[in-house]
Copies of this chain bind each other. A is one copy, B any other.
Amino acid sequence: MSQDFADRIVAARAPRRETKSLIYQHALRLFAERGYARTSLRDIAEAVGLEVPSLYTHIASKQSLLFDLMEFGNSELLARLEAAVAAVPGDRPLDQLYVLVRENVISHCRHRDQTKVVFTEIRELADRQRPRILSLRRSIEDLFRDTIGRAVDAGSAREVDVTVTAFGVLAIGRGAATWYHDDGELTPEDIGDLYAEQVVRGILAPKLAAKWSRPQL
């Protein structure tokens, strides 16, 4: 066995974290651009600067790569949203909804690749992997449902269908990821404020319409 061969086998047994990170970065970008089914392991390997079999030092399969990206993407979004709600007192549900919608829009604009992959490629997961991702997604939906529900219960919002309203709000955020560009006139914060105000006014109790104004954050 030559020195060269030995070095390469050692490299395979002591995988570099940096390489793994590059694999995930390029996989996310390529999955978002072309879709999971149209991205081959050859594409990913080439982007990273490896041969295909070398990828298997770092990942278990193409599918596990997708699963990891989807789990991280959903978890990160959920954490951001929970932090946003927690920053506003619970007795002001309309303001909580405002920051929730705003943070959701901002996150989707800032992490467009994550959004595209997370919401387009669910059907590509194995049946065994899917429940975990759906569960995370449901937690996000529940956060919106709960906040809207408390605004209704407090009499600050009209008696809207909580689930349908929540789904509409979530769709607006995902939509932003499909058209937002960094070189546009509006920042993610601008867009977040714009949608948050429309959503709150859309369900606001009419008696509050004249005096409601955007929360000072």
Q: B-contacting residues of A (Cβ < 8 Å)?
A: 33-35, 37-38, 120, 123-124, 160-161, 164-165, 167-168, 170-172, 174-176, 179, 186, 191, 194-195, 197-199, 201-204, 206-207, 209-210
Contacts and interface: CB of A to CB of B under 8 A. Distances in A.
A191 to B, nearest CB: 6
B168 A172 contact: yes
Contacts of A161: 186, 194
Contacts of A120: 120
A21 to B, nearest CB: 26
Contacts of A172: 168, 171-172
How would you classify the secondary structure of chain A's contact residues: helix, strand, loop or mixed?
Answer: helix
A172 B202 CA distance: 13
B35 A164 contact: no
A186 B204 CA distance: 22
Contacts of A174: 171, 175
Nearest to A174: B171
A204 B168 CA distance: 18
Given A171-B172, A174-B175, A160 B194 contact: yes
Contacts of A201: 201-204, 209
Contacts of A170: 175
Given A35-B37, A201-B202, 11 more contacts: A35-B123, A35-B124, A38-B124, A160-B198, A167-B175, A167-B176, A171-B175, A175-B175, A198-B199, A201-B201, A202-B202
Nearest to A141: B179
A38 B201 CA distance: 42
A198 B204 CA distance: 9
Given A35-B37, A37-B37, A191 B206 contact: no
